[in-house]
Amino acid sequence: MKRGILKKISLPGWIFISIILGVAAGLLLKERIYSFSATIGDIFLNLLKMITLPLIFTSISTGVISVGGSKNLGRVGLKTILYYILSSLVAIVTGLLLTNTIKPGADTSFFTSSVESSSVDIQSLSIRDIILKIFTPNIFNSFAQGEMLPVIFFSLLIGFFVTRLRKKQRLLLSDILQAGFELMMKITGFILKLAPVGIFGIMAKIVSSTGLQVFGNLGKYFFTVLSGLLIHYFLSLPLIVFLFTKLNPYRHMNNMSTALLTAFSTASSSATLPVTLECAEEKSGISNKISSFVFPLGATINMDGTALYECSAAIFISQVYGIFLSIPQQIVVVLTALLASIGAAGIPMAGLVMMTVVLKSVGLPLEGIGIILAVDRILDMIRTSTNVWSDSCGALIIASSEKEVNINIYNN
Ligand code: ASP
């Protein structure tokens, strides 16, 4: 009888339970559970990371091959990029309006003390650095270092030029890459079964080391970014999906819930990618042809949550330092926030590091990053889930426009 009930709980249900149990265990057992939980959390994360690059490589190259001739590829590619830009801009403008209205940084005296406690390693990055990251001189090194942008670029090239080979070679290489991709997805399915245990470990580790104090004095700033992210998550993106597809966006959200919860707990879109692909194809009915192309790209370059956060945080920092940003300067913030979100890797805290690009573009002090550090972990979890949700919405929109969705899933 009891077993029956346990069997009825779905994977997202288990993940949700393990998030709660992890938080509770972290709070109750504190440092006593730290090393145990860190070990199981790290094993799970390492398994995800282990599979991610082979998955990206096989997924994008087979995606490009199956999207086919250069005409289709151009069309799907263009739709993908247009969606990424549109959804990121909607996110950024939401953040811009909220931060200018709520003005969370107006009461400056409140924050000055936390500036000294900055411990983040601030490396300055420029737009040129972001672009040069794509064109690696050594692809093996990029694989070894886990650099997503060059690997994506290389996989796009492979896929594209396989379609340009003579028939015999083309079929041979397509089959090999396709078999590789299916193999990676099988391994992913296996890793996914361990998700509840791994996620328990990750949550217990975070809470046992930082407690729930992470909110600190930054309540108003936290609330501003959080509201922006929630508006984008529950209103803007569903509305965009509905306008373009007429399908029920909340059903899609429910189908993607395992991926969204995994993104929340790992704070890494790249590590979540295997789970995202699995949910999109198995639950949301998006064809492999579209998902294998759109998701790996999206996990690295489409980051609505990060874009919104970059913009809000920069405006907040200007308010804290009492630096007035004119309208043209705010437009520069919007554009660099977009670029920073494209350049940010899908790993924890990547957005925080990318803040340097935005702050530098309008001459704001880089130490401002120290102020927002305290609440970054929680915001990172929420923005990562937003990033993955936006990728999922984009994939559904593009798949639906290409008639590559199993509509029956949404009709009953
Ligand atoms: N952690 C985010 C992600 O993986 C990136 C960020 O730090 O904003 O999507």
> Measured in whole angstroms, how far is the alpha carbon of residue 293 from the centre of its chain?
16
> What's the CATH code of the domain at 349?
1.10.3860.10
**Model-level pTM?**
0.79
Query: Is ligand 1 within 6 A of the CB of residue 59?
Result: no
- In this predicted model, what pLDDT tens digit does every residue of 189-217 receive, in sequence order? 888 788 889 889 988 887 887 665 444 45
Mutate to test the pocket of ligand 1, among 120, 276, 306 (most ligand atoms within 8 A of CB): 306
Cα-only R_g, the chain: 21
What's the 403 CA to ligand 1 centre distance in angstroms? 31
**pLDDT value for 320:** 85
The range of the structural domain enclosing residue 242 comes to 2-411
* Integer Cα distance of 38 and 202 in angstroms: 6
- In this predicted model, what pLDDT tens digit does every residue of 56-105 receive, in sequence order? 888 888 888 877 666 777 888 899 999 999 999 999 999 999 999 999 88
**pLDDT value for 214:** 42
Max CA separation in the chain (angstroms): 70
* Integer Cα distance of 209 and 268 in angstroms: 19
**Which residues have CB under 8 Å from 87's CB, separation 6+?**
236, 237, 240, 302, 304, 390, 393, 394
Q: Which amino acid is at 320?
A: V
120 φψ region: left (φ > 0), alpha (ψ -120 to 50), beta (else):
beta
Measured from the Cβ of residue 16, the count of other Cβ atoms closer than 10 Å reads 19
Mutate to test the pocket of ligand 1, among 312, 383, 389 (most ligand atoms within 8 A of CB): 383
For residue 306, give the ligand 1 atom closest to its CA: 8
- In this predicted model, what pLDDT tens digit does every residue of 286-345 receive, in sequence order? 998 899 889 988 888 899 999 999 999 999 999 888 888 888 888 989 998 998 888 777
- In this predicted model, what pLDDT tens digit does every residue of 106-145 receive, in sequence order? 765 444 444 444 444 445 566 677 678 788 899 999 889 8
In angstroms, the first-to-last Cα distance of the chain is 30
Query: Is ligand 1 within 6 A of the CB of residue 344?
Result: yes
- In this predicted model, what pLDDT tens digit does every residue of 29-39 receive, in sequence order? 888 888 999 99
The count of domains in the chain is 1
What's the 297 CA to ligand 1 centre distance in angstroms? 14
What's the 236 CA to ligand 1 centre distance in angstroms? 20
Q: Give the chain's length.
A: 412
**pLDDT value for 185:** 81
What's the 263 CA to ligand 1 centre distance in angstroms? 9
Query: Is ligand 1 within 6 A of the CB of residue 260?
Result: no
Query: Is ligand 1 within 6 A of the CB of residue 299?
Result: no
* Integer Cα distance of 286 and 399 in angstroms: 6
Query: Is ligand 1 within 6 A of the CB of residue 185?
Result: no
For residue 346, give the ligand 1 atom closest to its CA: 4
Six token digits for residue 17: 């339970």
Mutate to test the pocket of ligand 1, among 48, 232, 380 (most ligand atoms within 8 A of CB): 380
Query: Is ligand 1 within 6 A of the CB of residue 348?
Result: yes
Mutate to test the pocket of ligand 1, among 88, 303, 385 (most ligand atoms within 8 A of CB): 303
Alpha-carbon distances of 262 from 13, 35, 212, rounded to whole Å: 12, 21, 20
Q: Is 122 helix (H, G, I), strand (E, B) or coil?
A: coil
Overall average pLDDT of the 358-370 stretch: 81
Closest Cα to atom 2, ligand 1: which residue?
A: 384
